[in-house]
């Protein structure tokens, strides 16, 4: 016997009714009954599945509402009986979604079929709920047709003849057909007619979906609502909706992401107009809600070697009504650490998104810093202009120009440097979580050509930071994390290069367990400077022990040399230790304890490191 259902209606992808199941029909009728009341002290759920394997059993167990109540400690008789009644439909939905269209389902509440329990015969207690499921034969697709499809597009793979005839496959096949037309500019493509025929003798489902592409449209206006401080002209410039071009759903998503990246809006919703306008154009409606424009922040970190580090900032997200971000920030470091002297800095910056291109952000920065490190003291003033280009959600590049002036005291005496810099960088971020990555990778490359105006030769400073994360198994309890850092300065020697352009190793950012900047290049007279070449390697094993708590074992090693080629003319040192991570939802709080392993003991004991987020 076969049944056939047809459905018409805008936006409806799939609907089906199978009338062969008298039990299911009776269940749905009884499902309207009022739930029983009464206290239940305990209930045991027993599920028996005739066939289908462990995966099907797991799906059915997860579909049981009564099981959820028991797991949550709900012992109300009224709730359990009501859940048992609803479980018929939930089990059928789970079975249909795996292609089982001839099931038999029985739910016994203390020996009585749940669907047959009268609302006036309330049980005082519920001891056992026995669920017996015979899935029957799993259906496959017989004849399938999805038409018309765009030129060159095959029938959706989910609807291929011989595939499991799961409801999810029908829905995804229909959605794939609609998406194929939308990608070609047919924004209002929809399923106009559907025919689904079940052949129970052959255990097959024949599916025929007729697609209505509708007209091919171009982008019309961006209609903006919800803004009070941001000028509509600037919203359009930042969104960059390609008005007049053929509709593309990816362009709508990109415009929404551009608006979100500004940080000005707490809500960004871009939706298509209901109707196509004259000239086959389609307007896009932008519903926005603005955040409070001002924000203040404070950050704290501490380790026993470098001491405490405090950062603070004040920011205005929308200074002139065009999503301009004005930020003032300061930092104080070296508070109560083993190192003498304090480092401090201040910086102001102004950023303007959507400059010359929707994916560009132009930033001007003016900064001052004083650094009191073991190897040198430096007072620095820098002014720069930088253009950031967002290539995709995971890739960005930047380029700029800067002017730097420094007054330095180091192994070579007191000196003054002035330079013109042309910083270039690229970042590819494929991590699943920026603060607590478990899968993916991160790569950042920096290259800064510099022209010496005073005190230094011209040259090139390069740095690379590569990180990888791998979590074997489905639970992500164990995470292997690795990091490689490389650095090189080409052009000047160690004497003529600005000390903050050179490389050191030791401390929280390179080798934990070794003293801060304890490894460099020994100069005549025994004083230490930075090196022209650098290698940093770090490995961590992160083990999640509870939902909030993780344990970490790590090993770091670093190299600094007097050659621009990393790994030549220098020395290695290393450190290792253990750590604890407590997940706060905003990122893990990090506590690491480390000690030297090789390359000399620059510390008298162990070092402690505290911060927010993983070490890398």
Residue 11 in this model has a pLDDT that exceeds 50? no
Encode 197-210: b = buried (16+ Cβ within 10 Å), e = exposed. Answer: ebebeebbbbbbbe
Mean pLDDT, to the nearest integer, of 231-239?
97
Calpha distance 386→448 (Å, rounded): 13
Which of 340-354, 437-451, 497-511 holds the top average pLDDT?
437-451
Q: CA dist 292 to 45, 265, 317, Å?
A: 51, 9, 8
Residue 15 in this model has a pLDDT that exceeds 70? no
Query: What angle is formed at CA 11 by the lines to CA 5 and CA 15, rounded to 5 degrees?
Result: 25
Cα separation of the two ends of the chain: 62
Range of weakest confidence among 252-266, 392-406, 446-460, 513-527: 513-527
Residue 602 — pLDDT band, cuts 50, 70, 90? low
| 201-213 tens-digit pLDDT | 999 999 999 999 9
Mean pLDDT, to the nearest integer, of 235-263?
97
What would the two tokens of residue 179 be? 């998406």
Calpha distance 186→532 (Å, rounded): 58
| 56-81 tens-digit pLDDT | 999 999 999 888 888 877 667 788 88
Q: Using an 8 Å Cβ cutoff, are 132 and 115 in contact?
A: no
Residue 243 — pLDDT band, cuts 50, 70, 90? very high
Residue 360 — pLDDT band, cuts 50, 70, 90? very high
Mean pLDDT, to the nearest integer, of 292-312?
87
Calpha distance 94→73 (Å, rounded): 24
Encode 592-605: b = buried (16+ Cβ within 10 Å), e = exposed. Answer: bebbbbebebbbee
Residue 528 — pLDDT band, cuts 50, 70, 90? confident
What would the two tokens of residue 193 be? 């007619």
Phi and psi angles of residue 119, each rounded to the nearest 5 degrees, phi first: -65, -15
Calpha distance 171→145 (Å, rounded): 14
Q: What is the crossing angle of helices 232-239 and 249-261, to 10°?
A: 120
Q: How far is CA 339 from its chain centroid? A: 38
Strand order from edge to edge, sheet including 112-113? 44-49, 128-134, 104-109, 112-113
**Confidence at residue 300, expressed as pLDDT on a 0 to 100 scale:** 85
**Confidence at residue 404, expressed as pLDDT on a 0 to 100 scale:** 96
Mean pLDDT, to the nearest integer, of 99-111?
92
Kind plus residue range of the DSSP H or E element containing 256: helix 249-261
Residue 417 DSSP class: E
Calpha distance 3→18 (Å, rounded): 6
Residue 359 in this model has a pLDDT that exceeds 70? yes
Cβ neighbours for 42, distance < 8 A, ≥ 6 positions apart: 75, 125, 127
Range of weakest confidence among 37-46, 190-199, 356-365, 408-417: 37-46
Kind plus residue range of the DSSP H or E element containing 78: helix 77-96
Phi and psi angles of residue 320, each rounded to the nearest 5 degrees, phi first: -115, 15
Torsion sign (Cα): 559, 564, 566, 569: negative
Q: CA dist 313 to 327, 379, 454, Å?
A: 7, 21, 33
Q: What is the crossing angle of helices 249-261 and 167-183, to 10°?
A: 90
Q: Which carries the bigger pLDDT value, residue 254 or residue 7?
A: 254
Residue 601 — pLDDT band, cuts 50, 70, 90? low
Encode 165-185: b = buried (16+ Cβ within 10 Å), e = exposed. Answer: bbbebbebbbebbbebbbebb
**What domains does the chain contain, in order, with CATH numbers?**
31-134 (3.10.20), 218-290 (3.10.20.310), 294-612 (2.40.160.50)
Residue 604 in this model has a pLDDT that exceeds 50? yes
Q: Which carries the bigger pLDDT value, residue 191 or residue 604?
A: 191
Calpha distance 273→396 (Å, rounded): 32
**Confidence at residue 42, expressed as pLDDT on a 0 to 100 scale:** 54
How do beta strands 128-134 and 44-49 pair?
parallel
Q: Is 222 strand, coil or helix?
A: strand
| 408-449 tens-digit pLDDT | 998 888 999 999 999 999 999 999 999 899 999 999 999 999
Task: Report the percent of the chain where pLDDT is more than 90.
Answer: 69
Mean pLDDT, to the nearest integer, of 517-536?
90
**Confidence at residue 337, expressed as pLDDT on a 0 to 100 scale:** 67
Q: Which carries the bigger pLDDT value, residue 491 or residue 30?
A: 491
| 155-195 tens-digit pLDDT | 899 999 999 999 999 999 999 999 999 999 999 999 999 99
Cβ neighbours for 320, distance < 8 A, ≥ 6 positions apart: none
Kind plus residue range of the DSSP H or E element containing 90: helix 77-96
Q: Using an 8 Å Cβ cutoff, are 420 and 401 in contact?
A: yes
**Confidence at residue 22, expressed as pLDDT on a 0 to 100 scale:** 42
Range of weakest confidence among 11-20, 69-78, 367-376: 11-20
**Confidence at residue 374, expressed as pLDDT on a 0 to 100 scale:** 79
Q: Where are the alpha helices (DSSP H) in 145-227?
A: 167-183
Strand order from edge to edge, sheet including 140-147? 2-6, 190-199, 204-212, 140-147
Calpha distance 569→257 (Å, rounded): 48
**Confidence at residue 355, expressed as pLDDT on a 0 to 100 scale:** 97
Residue with tokens 């000399």: 600
Q: Is 68 strand, coil or helix?
A: helix
């Amino acid at each position: 016997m076969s049944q056939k259902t047809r459905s018409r209606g805008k936006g409806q992808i799939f609907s089906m009714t199978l009338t062969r199941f008298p039990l299911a029909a009776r269940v749905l009728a009884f499902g309207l009954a009022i739930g029983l009341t009464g206290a239940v002290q305990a209930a045991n759920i027993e599920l028996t599945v005739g066939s289908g394997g462990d995966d099907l059993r797991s799906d059915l167990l997860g579909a049981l509402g009564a099981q959820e109540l028991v797991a949550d400690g709900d012992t109300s008789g009224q709730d359990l009986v009501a859940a048992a009644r609803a479980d018929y439909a939930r089990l059928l939905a789970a079975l249909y979604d795996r292609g089982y269209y001839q099931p038999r389902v029985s739910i016994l509440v203390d020996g009585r079929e749940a669907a047959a329990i009268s609302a006036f015969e309330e049980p005082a207690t519920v001891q056992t709920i026995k669920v017996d499921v015979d899935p029957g034969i799993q259906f496959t697709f017989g004849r399938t047709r999805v038409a018309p499809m765009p030129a060159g597009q095959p029938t959706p793979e989910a609807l291929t003849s011989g595939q499991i005839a799961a409801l999810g496959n029908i829905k995804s096949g229909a959605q794939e057909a609609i998406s194929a037309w939308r990608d070609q500019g047919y924004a209002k493509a929809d399923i106009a007619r559907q025919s689904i025929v079940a052949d129970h003798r052959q255990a097959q489902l024949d599916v025929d979906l007729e697609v209505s592409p509708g007209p091919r449209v171009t982008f019309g206006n961006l209609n903006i609502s919800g803004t009070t401080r941001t000028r509509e002209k600037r919203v359009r410039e930042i969104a960059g909706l390609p008005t007049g071009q053929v509709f593309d759903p990816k362009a709508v998503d990109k415009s929404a992401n551009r608006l979100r990246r500004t940080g000005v809006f707490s809500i960004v919703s871009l939706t298509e107009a209901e109707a196509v306008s004259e000239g086959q154009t389609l307007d896009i409606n932008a519903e926005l809600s603005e955040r409070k424009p001002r924000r203040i922040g404070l950050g704290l970190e501490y380790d026993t070697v470098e001491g405490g580090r405090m950062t603070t900032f004040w920011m205005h997200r929308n200074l002139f009504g065009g999503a301009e971000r004005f930020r003032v920030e300061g930092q104080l470091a070296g508070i109560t650490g083993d190192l003498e002297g304090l480092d401090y800095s201040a910086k102001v910056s102004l950023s303007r998104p959507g400059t010359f291109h929707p994916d560009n952000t132009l930033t001007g920065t003016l900064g001052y810093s004083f650094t009191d490190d073991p190897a040198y003291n430096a007072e620095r003033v820098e002014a720069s202009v930088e253009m950031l280009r967002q290539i995709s959600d995971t890739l960005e590049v930047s380029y700029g120009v800067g002017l730097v002036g420094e007054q330095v005291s180091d192994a070579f005496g007191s000196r003054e440097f002035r330079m013109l810099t042309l910083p270039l960088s690229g970042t590819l971020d494929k991590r699943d979580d920026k603060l607590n990555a478990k899968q993916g990778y991160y790569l950042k490359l920096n290259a800064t050509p510099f022209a010496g105006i005073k005190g230094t030769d011209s040259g090139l400073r390069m740095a690379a930071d590569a990180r990888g994360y791998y979590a074997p198994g489905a639970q992500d309890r164990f995470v292997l994390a690795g990091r490689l850092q490389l650095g090189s300065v080409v052009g000047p020697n160690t004497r003529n290069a600005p000390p903050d352009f050179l490389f050191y190793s030791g401390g929280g950012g390179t080798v934990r367990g070794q003293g801060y900047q304890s490894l460099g290049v020994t100069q005549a007279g025994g004083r230490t400077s930075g090196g022209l070449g650098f290698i940093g390697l770090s490995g961590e094993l992160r083990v999640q022990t509870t939902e909030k708590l993780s344990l970490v074992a790590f090993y770091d090693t670093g190299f600094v040399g007097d050659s621009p080629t990393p790994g030549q003319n220098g020395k290695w040192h290393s450190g290792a230790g253990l750590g604890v991570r407590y997940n706060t939802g905003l990122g893990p709080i990090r506590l690491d304890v480390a000690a030297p392993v090789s390359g000399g003991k620059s510390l008298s004991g162990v070092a402690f490191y505290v911060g927010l987020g993983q070490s890398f």
